[in-house]
Amino acid sequence: MADKRDYYEVLGIQKGASEDEIKKAFKKKAREFHPDLHPDDPSCEEKFKEANEAYEVLSDPDKRSKYDQFGHAGVDPSFGGGGGMGGFTDMSDILENIFGGFGFGGGGFGGSSHSSANAPKRGQDINESIILTFMESCMGVKKDIKVHRMCTCESCNGTGANAGSSAEICPDCQGRGSIKTTQRTPFGAISSTKPCPHCGGKGKIIKNPCDSCHGVGRKRVLKTVSIDIPAGIADGQTIRLTGQGDCGVNGGPAGNLNVTVSVKSHEIFTREGYDIHCEIPVTYAQAVLGAEITVPTIDGNVKYNIGEGTQSGTTFRLKNKGVKKLRSSDRGHQYVKINIEVPKNLSKKQKDIIKEFEESLTDKNYTKRKTFFDKIKEIFN
């Protein structure tokens, strides 16, 4: 554990960071070191795993509390028994042992955590990230991702013992997984409960461990998981796949797989909530005379008529042409901003027509003005 970096340092945040700050920091690191974005940099994979490990702990209030109190030892499953707290794994052990000789017994403060060593335990959650294109996030997509997860060993069916053999009851703790010891102190005799050193707190001994999982009963394997990503999902949102995390221990339920989405930017569209925004260039003549223009949408191109004298910066709305709302059939809208392309490097003839046109704006002779309009349309379109 000594070579592990501080989890707050890994994510680049302060110790008192909020849940939202932790999530944003992880998202930033995931983008910075995601192996798919940096295939030529082998160091990114390790940095990505490090950030993922830090997020897994700091995003869980219980794990974060233990980490803040005990450091890496507080969230290391191999830490306990004879660890840095003199054999006590939580506060209930300390209270029980301090007051055990004064009539509080073994259960006055919730009992020892070792008494539940063989109780079913839920598997760990797994946190992954996935990168989508803008259109994939708008329209929905099915993706396969590779996930390393703890699974029940197929060779021994989770028993930890080789075929033809089985685990035996520990003779020292009689299957309880813990033993009681008594210490004499200035306060009197204090009884404490500690993990059985013979069986490591499991209550069973495997004399012929499985060759595949080495007696653990679980193995970390690479699995392909298919994810149906719904239309309308936004950058930074997380999809939870129940039961797709690490398998449980002692018959406990599996954890969840949490997949955080990162969406690439688009060359035309931007998104605000479920609305889409874009800018469309039109020619000077189109703006002056009005025209039918082609507008791109996430569903394909549509036609739209802009009126005569359209000003640069004018914004119009395409109803229900935005992103589909999650868990709803409704859609947002698309907002299109007009940018007028002012012509450059005009010829003398073009400049003369512009001047003539400007003078015609005050002319009440409709026929004369229409003639200039036709000239502009011909020369600038």
pLDDT for res 249:
87
Sign of the torsion angle spanned by Cα atoms 123, 65, 99, 86 = positive
CB within 8 Å of 261: residues ≥ 6 apart = 129, 130, 132, 137, 229, 233, 234, 235, 236, 237, 238, 239
pLDDT for res 99:
43
- 131 pLDDT exceeds 70? yes
More confident call, 53 vs 356 = 53
More confident call, 238 vs 360 = 238
DSSP assignment of 197-209 equals TTTTTSSEE-SSB
User: Residues 128, 134, 140, CA angle at the centre, nearest 5°?
Assistant: 70
Class of domain 266-342: mainly beta
Domain 120-158+214-265 bears CATH identifier 3.30.470.30 = no
Q: What is the rounded distance in angstroms from the CA atom of residue 99 to the CA atom of residue 105?
A: 8
pTM for the structure as a whole: 0.59
pLDDT > 90 fraction of the chain, expressed in percent and rounded = 37
372-378 average pLDDT score: 61
> Sheet containing 275-283: which strands, arranged edge to edge?
270-272, 275-283, 334-341, 315-318
The chain-wide mean pLDDT, for the chain, equals: 81
Grouping H, G, I as helix, E, B as strand and the rest as coil, residue 74 is helix
Is-same-fold flag (120-158+214-265; 266-342)? yes
**Count of helices and strands (H, E) across the chain:** 9, 15
Helical pair 366-380 and 348-360, crossing angle rounded to 10 deg = 150
pLDDT for res 373:
61
pLDDT for res 327:
84
Q: Where are the domains of the chain?
A: 1-79, 120-158+214-265, 266-342, 345-381
- Give 135-168 pLDDT, tens digit per residue: 999 999 999 999 999 999 988 888 888 887 888 8
- Give 185-211 pLDDT, tens digit per residue: 555 667 778 888 888 777 888 888 888
Q: Which two tokens stand for residue 56?
A: 């897994």
- 298 pLDDT exceeds 90? yes
User: Residues 78, 84, 88, CA angle at the centre, nearest 5°?
Assistant: 80
- Give 249-287 pLDDT, tens digit per residue: 888 999 999 999 999 999 999 999 999 999 999 988 888
pLDDT for res 114:
42
- Find the range with the poorest average confidence among 37-46, 52-61, 136-145, 226-235: 37-46
Grouping H, G, I as helix, E, B as strand and the rest as coil, residue 298 is coil
- 181 pLDDT exceeds 70? yes
304-315 average pLDDT score: 93
Q: Which two tokens stand for residue 94?
A: 């300390």
CB within 8 Å of 70: residues ≥ 6 apart = 84, 85
| Local confidence band at 74 (pLDDT 50, 70, 90 cut-offs) | confident
65-79 average pLDDT score: 76
Q: Which two tokens stand for residue 170?
A: 């520990």
Q: Which CATH architecture has domain 1-79?
A: Orthogonal Bundle (1.10)
CB within 8 Å of 364: residues ≥ 6 apart = none
pLDDT for res 307:
92
